[in-house]
Amino acid sequence: MRDGAGVAAPKDLVALNEHSAVDEADMVRRTALGDTGAFGQLVRAHQGRVRAYIGSYVRSPDVVDDLAQEVFLTAYASVGSFRGESAFSTWLLGIARHRVLGHLRTHLRKGRLVDRLIDGRRLDRVEDDAAHLDERERAIAALKRCVEILPPGSSVLVTEHYFQANTLADIGRRTQKGESAVRMTLLRIRRALRDCIERRLASSGIS
């Protein structure tokens, strides 16, 4: 089992690639002409945001992956309609939002009451995103920053669970804590991250 000292910091693992607006405009133009190399660069540059956006509403990693691929295929097929009136990333998130809406509406769970309530609220949120995609994008960037400044103990726990796919039981054995204690600690860390995101958004301090 890994110990804390050997765990890579989350900041090394969270990739939201940045590049210049000039490069991007050129890549979009070349993609419109059928250059799949340029398209690949656009995918690399934006896949983090698109997948994070979808992942914030869809739990299954495989479905997130599939929907994100569809978003980029749709973008490739219709990049000619991108007029540059918004950022390219916002345009992509618009496509992603439609995909997520379609998925959630098709797969609204009919079983447990809690599932239905959570799914219903989640659907409301995606619908509300229509006018706030730039804010969603900033929130994703803010989370990246907030993860980077987590205290060491929390950082190790987040890395082990989310980035190295260790189970709660594995982490419990390493830390000699019960599984439920690990679970509750992660809940508290997520709440701290959420507060951090809100603070950053409120002060528009995506530094």
DSSP per residue over the chain, as a string? ---GGGSPPGGGT-------HHHHHHHHHHHHTT-HHHHHHHHHHHHHHHHHHHHTT---HHHHHHHHHHHHHHHHHHGGG--SSS-HHHHHHHHHHHHHHHHHHHT---S-HHHHHHHHHHHHHHHHGGG-HHHHHHHHHHHHHHHHTS-HHHHHHHIIIIIS---HHHHHHHHT--HHHHHHHHHHHHHHHHHHHHHHHHTT---
Number of residues that bind another protein (CB under 8 A): 71
Tell me if 26 contacts another protein by CB under 8 A.
Answer: no
Region binding another protein by CB under 8 A among candidate stretches 19-27, 88-96, 106-114, 170-178: 106-114
84 part of the interface to another protein, by CB under 8 A: no
200 sits near another protein (criterion: CB under 8 A): no
Q: Is residue 197 at the binding interface for another protein, with CB under 8 A as the rule?
A: yes
Q: Does 130 bind another protein (CB under 8 A)?
A: yes
**Contact status: 82 vs another protein (CB under 8 A):** no
Distances (CA, A) of 148 to 14, 49, 77, 141, 187: 9, 17, 36, 11, 18
Could you say which of 32, 87, 95, 201 contacts another protein (CB under 8 A)?
Answer: 32
113 binds another protein (CB under 8 A): yes
Name the segment binding another protein (CB under 8 A); options: 18-26, 84-92, 170-178, 189-197.
189-197
Smaller CB separation from another protein, 23 or 36: 36
Interaction between residue 144 and another protein (CB under 8 A): yes
The whole-angstrom distance between residue 45's C-alpha and the CA centroid of its chain comes to 14
Out of 19, 194, 199, 205, the residue judged to bind another protein by CB under 8 A? 194
| Range in contact with another protein (rule: CB under 8 A) among 20-28, 59-67, 86-94, 170-178 | 59-67
- Measured from the CB of residue 70, what is the shortest distance to another protein in angstroms? 9
